[in-house]
Amino acid sequence: MLFYCRDGCHAGICCGQTWFNRASLDPPWHTPVSGQLVGALDPGFYKLIKYGTADDTKIKLIRDGYSHGLADLMLERYPETVRAAPGREIEVSPRLVNIMVANGESDLLIFEAKMNLKPA
């Protein structure tokens, strides 16, 4: 059975609208909020599916371009280098790279950290 949004997108992937069976006589129209399915999924479960975590700080790091592996490493081993203010951007200390080098972390993760740090 195929599902479409009211704009005709297959499975609602491109626009996030409500899905319905095209053969249905009475599709459940509603207005979406922020491109998400309204009331269809628990917000924590949605984050877990989309990002692999429900931790808002880790999600912000991932959305800023950090890989899952580096975000995990930063939050588990170097939490003092990550500062998260509610509703604002995540600030990562430039000291992170020096600390990672001193601790013998992977060169690839160090390179990734260098590439993602915002210039001061």
Q: Is the pTM higher than 0.85?
A: no
CA distance 40 to 21: 16
The whole-number average pLDDT for the span 29-42 is: 56
Can you read off the two tokens belonging to residue 36?
């998400």
Q: Which residues pair with 20 in a beta bridge?
A: 4
Closest to 90 in 3D by CA, of 52, 62, 53, 50: 62
49-71 pLDDT, tens per residue? 888 888 989 999 999 899 999 99
Strands 3-4 and 82-84: unpaired
Which residue type occupies 5? C
CA distance 36 to 7: 15
Residue 20 confidence (pLDDT)? 46
The whole-number average pLDDT for the span 57-86 is: 92
Domain boundary assignment for the chain: 1-40, 43-116
Which residue type occupies 52? G
The whole-number average pLDDT for the span 28-52 is: 68
Work out the mean pLDDT of the chain and round it to a whole number: 76
